[in-house]
Amino acid sequence: MTAARSAFSLPLVSSIAENVELAQLGEELGYEDVWIADTATIDVFVLAAMVGSATAALRIGTAVIPVFTRPPALLAAAAASVSQVTGPDRFILGLGSSSPAIVDDWCGIPFERPVTRVRETIEALRSMFSEPKTTFSGDTLRVKNFRLNVPSAGEIPLWIGAQRPVMAGTAGEFADGVACNFIPASSVQMFKQTVADGAARAGKTDPLPLVVRLQTIVTDDRASAFDTLRASIGPYLATPTYNSFLASCGYEAEAAKIKAGWENRDRADLAAGVTDELLTDLAIVGDEAECRERLTAFTDAGVDIPMIHPVVRSKDEAAVMLEALAPR
C-alpha cells in the first residue's frame, strides 16, 4: 500500500498574504500537498498562483471549482496559467458540481444536470489541453473553435469532487483522481468501491487516488470543539447533496433530524442531529495524539490524501494546528 500524502487545506483566513504564509509554513513543516477551496472567499486561481510562486515543491490542487461558474475555456486558460507559475507536476485541477446554493442562489445560474455538466467539462478540457483546436457539442455546454494559447508547464491532472454514487462512478470513469468532503471514515471503502466500479467501465486498472477534506481541531476540550463543528458543519449537512450522502453512509436518523431542523429554522434541532458519534466519524478532533490516531483511521480506511482543514479564527491558530499534525 502506498503511503498517504500529507496535506492541508486553504484558505483558512481572509487575508491572501496570510494564506501564502501558511502555505510556506506547511512546506517547511514537510506537508506535500495544499488543496484550495473555491467558495465565497479568495479567488482560487489567484491563491493557487501566489502559493505556487512562494513555494518550491508543494503540490497544489483545487478542491473543488464549480463547473457551472466558469466555462471550460476560462478554466483551461486559468489552469494553464497557474501551471506556468508552479512548474510541471505541481498543479491539479479539481472540479465539481458544487451546490444549488452556490450555483443558483449566489450566481444566478441554473443548477441543472450536474453529473452531465461535470463529465462534459472534463471531456472538453481534455481536448483543450491536448488538441490545437477544440469544438465540442454536449447536452449542457458547447465550444466552437477554441484554441488555448497559454501552454501549460506539463500535464494538468483533472480530478472530480464527488459525494453521491452517480458522481463517484463518473469520477472513476472520467477523472484522474477524486476529492470528497464530509465522508465518515466508516464509509470510505464503500465510496472507493463505487469509484472503482466507474473506473472499471473505462478499463482502468489502477485505483484512483482519493483526497478528503477533514475538519480539524486540535484541542484538549473535545466538547467545545464539537459544539464549534456542529455550528459550522450543520448547515452544510442540511443541503440536499450532503444530506442524502450522509443518509447513504448509514446516518439516516441524523440526516433526517438535520434536514428537519433546517427546514423548521430550528438551530437547536439541527445541531442535535450532528451527534458526537457522527463528528467522531467524519472529523479530526482531540489532542495531538488523538488527532493523529484519527488521521491514521482515515488512511487505514483507504484515504490516500487526508487533507486537514483547521477550523480556526486566525493565522496563528492555523499555524499551531499545522505544526501539531505536521508529518513525522
The CATH class of the 7-217+287-324 domain is: alpha beta
Confidence at residue 172, expressed as pLDDT on a 0 to 100 scale: 98
3-class DSSP assignment, residue 213: strand
Confidence at residue 40, expressed as pLDDT on a 0 to 100 scale: 85
Name the one residue in this structure whose C-alpha cell is 487526508: 306
108-147: per-residue pLDDT in tens? 999 999 999 999 999 999 999 999 999 999 999 999 999 9
Any idea where the domains of the chain sit in the sequence?
7-217+287-324, 220-283
Report which of 169, 190, 159 is spatially closest to residue 302, judged by C-alpha positions.
Answer: 190
- Burial letters for 130-157: b for 16+ Cβ neighbours within 10 Å, e otherwise? eeeebebeeebbebeebebeeebbeebe
Confidence at residue 199, expressed as pLDDT on a 0 to 100 scale: 98
What angle, rounded to 10 degrees, do the helices at 44-54 and 72-86 form?
A: 10
- Could you give the percent of the chain with pLDDT greater than 70? 99
CB count, 10 Å around CB of 318?
Answer: 27
How many whole angstroms separate alpha carbon 181 and alpha carbon 282? 9
Q: pTM for this structure? A: 0.97
How many whole angstroms separate alpha carbon 327 and alpha carbon 6? 7
Ranges under pLDDT 50 in the chain: none
Q: Per DSSP, what are the bridge partners of residue 66?
A: 96
Confidence at residue 2, expressed as pLDDT on a 0 to 100 scale: 66
203-235: per-residue pLDDT in tens? 999 999 999 999 999 999 999 999 999 999 999
Instruction: Specify the DSSP element, H or E, that contains 204.
Output: none
Confidence at residue 39, expressed as pLDDT on a 0 to 100 scale: 86
